[in-house]
Structure 1
Amino acid sequence: MTVLDRRHLLGAAGALLLPACTTGRVGTASAPPRCLPPVNVAADRVIRTAAGLRPFRPAGFRVERGALGDKALVHNYGHGGAGITLSWGTSKLAVELGLPGHSGAVAVIGAGIVGLTTARLVQEAGFPVTVYAAALPPDTTSNVSGGQIHAVSYFDRAAVTPAWLAQAERAEDYSWRRFQIMVGDDYGIRWVPTYVDGGSRQRPHMPAYQTLEPKAWPFGGEQLLRYDTMYVETGRFLRELAKDIQIGGGRILVRRFDTPAAVAALPETLVFNCTGLGAAALFGDTTLYPVRGQLAILLPQPEIQYAYSGRAGYMFPRSDGIVLGGTYEQYVDDPTPQPAAIAQIIASHRRLFTGFRC
Structure 2
Amino acid sequence: MSASAPSLIVGSAVLSFVVSFASVRMAMAYAQRRGMLDEPGRRRSHSMPTPRGGGIGIVLGALVGMPSALLLLPVSPGAATTAAFSVSVIAVAAIGWLDDHGSLPIRPRLLIQLAATLLLCVAVASYTSSLLWAIPLLVAGVWCINLHNFMDGIDGLAAQQAMFFGAAYAALAWSAGSPALAGAGLALGAAATGFWWFNRSPAKIFMGDVGSATLGLIVFALSAMLWAFRTNLLWPALIFSSGFVVDATLTLLVRMLRGARWYTPHREHLYQWLVRRGASHRKVALGYFAWNVLVCVPVAWIAFRWPAAASMCFGATYLLGAAVWRTGKHSCLRRRERHVSA
TM-score, length-normalised on structure 2?
0.32
Structure that is richer in helix per residue: 2
Higher relative contact order (CA 8 A, sep 6+): 1
Q: Say which structure is richer in strand.
A: 1
Greater radius of gyration (CA): 1
